[in-house]
Structure 1
Amino acid sequence: MCFHTSQTKKAVQLESRFDATFEYPELYEPYYHFNGWETKSLQIITQDDPYLIKPAYWGLMPKNVDISERSNQLRNWNTLNARSEAVLESKLFREPTLNNRCLILVDGFFEPHEFQGKKYPYYIRYKNKEAFAFAGIFNHMEDNIYTASILTTKANPYFERVHNSKNKQGQYRMPIVLDTKEEMDWINPDLKEGDITEQMMFSFTQQEFEDFPVSRDLFSNKVDSNRPTIIEEFHYPEMNTLF
């Protein structure tokens, strides 16, 4: 599951890449590590405003719940991710999937990799280091606040190798990274239910990824992991990960 991301690109780079402008440019700060339980903002592009980049709290919430309850909501119902196979049967996720789809803009993410009974954080990004978009869904809350979730799907062989531990349902999972040519299709408001299902199944990126282990500081609440070195390869002697 995807609970940790990076977005190190400057605002002008994201605007150029996604042909959109920031709604609140003064609020945007690039980051090296965002733990989903923090209160930093994801950057999203919604289907009703495809040329605006907006901030959103990570973790979709019901519209009738006050944003001050976000921490409690996440503890009780972890909505940082949403299983694409089940969203259309979910009371919380069905309506956003049909009518509130979005792009979630990142340039990397972190997953745990298990080796000899221990977990090591791995960083995953495009080989060309470009920004990309997760398939997301959102709710528009009161006071012009957005909340959003990343859609996940059954892992392909590459992600089975990287995030190599199964979830409670016995599956390997991966976030849906949209292919560039499919991004605007995902947020097309005219998509019907069958088209949406097809998009979730077949829109995964054709770009190549790279991955490598990073510091276990990523797992710690006692150190600042939002720093440039957190996305640099870290050598664990027991794993033979020296360059």
Structure 2
Amino acid sequence: MCGRYALYAPASRVKDHFEASTGEFPDDLSPRYNAAPMQWLSVVRQRQTGERVVHLLRWGLVPSWSRDESIATKLINARGETLAEKPSFRAAYKSRRCIVPASGFYDWKREGKKMQPYFIHPPAGELFGFAGVTTHMTHSIYFQWVAVLLQQGLQNNLAPPKNAYGVRSVNPWLSPDSWLALLQVHHQFLHR
């Protein structure tokens, strides 16, 4: 599962790529080369009107049934295939989905006694998005990734098809009715 990622594209490119308005997203957002859990990070959410907006949310999920915010540090990833079954995610997956824009993410591979980090990314600096779910608390908002892009670790070095990470692949996840089919592994389209 992914515990660190990077987003270094300019804010204008993120907004254009995901066809989103600024919302509270600052136009001068600093690049993130090592985004970590519990940090405030950018996500794309879709309003009931269909408009997409980029927001800053905190990475880590507090389930609807919990009053303990510290649980968010433990709930930073979820498996797509069990998302609908787990009590922690049931409410969020039904109606509070988001996209987490990224330039790449880190995966660790054991090499002898050491763990070697690899930066996994699309070719030529393309953007992509992690599928995510959000939850809302009275005094803060958190988001959590649904780690569906890389379930089996580093295996392939294939180039993605043109526009593989475009808006067309985002629409079904944000749509209230057609998102379940997207919960599949797409790691073969990334580079390390």
Question: Structure 2 length as normaliser, TM-score?
Answer: 0.81
SS at match of 2:87: coil
> Which of residues 185, 192, 201 in structure 1 aligns to 2:184?
201
Instruction: Identify if the C-alpha distance between structure 1 residues 156 and 33 changes in structure 2 by more than 3 Å, giving closer, same or farther.
Output: closer
Deviation at 1:128, TM superposition (A): 1.9
Structure 2 counterpart of 1:161: 155
Confirm whether residue 22 of structure 1 aligns to residue 22 of structure 2: yes
Deviation at 1:87, TM superposition (A): 1.4
Instruction: Identify if the C-alpha distance between structure 1 residues 74 and 61 changes in structure 2 by more than 3 Å, giving closer, same or farther.
Output: closer
* Cα RMSD, aligned residues only: 2.7
Confirm whether residue 146 of structure 1 aligns to residue 154 of structure 2: no
Instruction: Identify if the C-alpha distance between structure 1 residues 33 and 160 changes in structure 2 by more than 3 Å, giving closer, same or farther.
Output: closer
- Amino-acid identity (%): 21
Confirm whether residue 73 of structure 1 aligns to residue 47 of structure 2: no
* 1:47 maps to amino acid: Q
> Which of residues 111, 133, 138 in structure 2 aligns to 1:137?
133
Could you tell me how far apart the structure 2 residues matched to 1:89 and 1:24 are? 32
Confirm whether residue 103 of structure 1 aligns to residue 94 of structure 2: no
Could you tell me how far apart the structure 1 residues matched to 2:86 and 2:173 are? 19
Question: Structure 1 length as normaliser, TM-score?
Answer: 0.65
* 2:155 maps to amino acid: R
Confirm whether residue 120 of structure 1 aligns to residue 121 of structure 2: no
Say whether the 8 Å CA contact 1:179–1:205 is kept in structure 2: no
* 1:46 maps to amino acid: R
Gaps spanning 5+ residues in structure 1: where? Answer: 163-177, 212-243
Instruction: Find runs of 4+ consecutive structure 1 residues off by over 3 angstroms.
Output: 25-28, 63-66, 153-157, 159-162
Structure 1 counterpart of 2:80: 84
Structure 1 counterpart of 2:13: 13
User: How is 1:170-209 mapped onto 2 (pairs within 5 angstroms)?
Assistant: 179-180=165-166, 181-189=168-176, 191=177, 195-201=178-184, 204=186, 208-209=189-190
The total of aligned residue pairs comes to: 181
Could you tell me how far apart the structure 1 residues matched to 2:43 and 2:55 are? 5
Deviation at 1:54, TM superposition (A): 0.4
Instruction: Identify if the C-alpha distance between structure 1 residues 156 and 91 changes in structure 2 by more than 3 Å, giving closer, same or farther.
Output: closer
Structure 2 counterpart of 1:59: 60
SS at match of 2:172: helix
Deviation at 1:64, TM superposition (A): 6.3
Say whether the 8 Å CA contact 2:134–2:143 is kept in structure 1: yes
Larger radius of gyration: 1
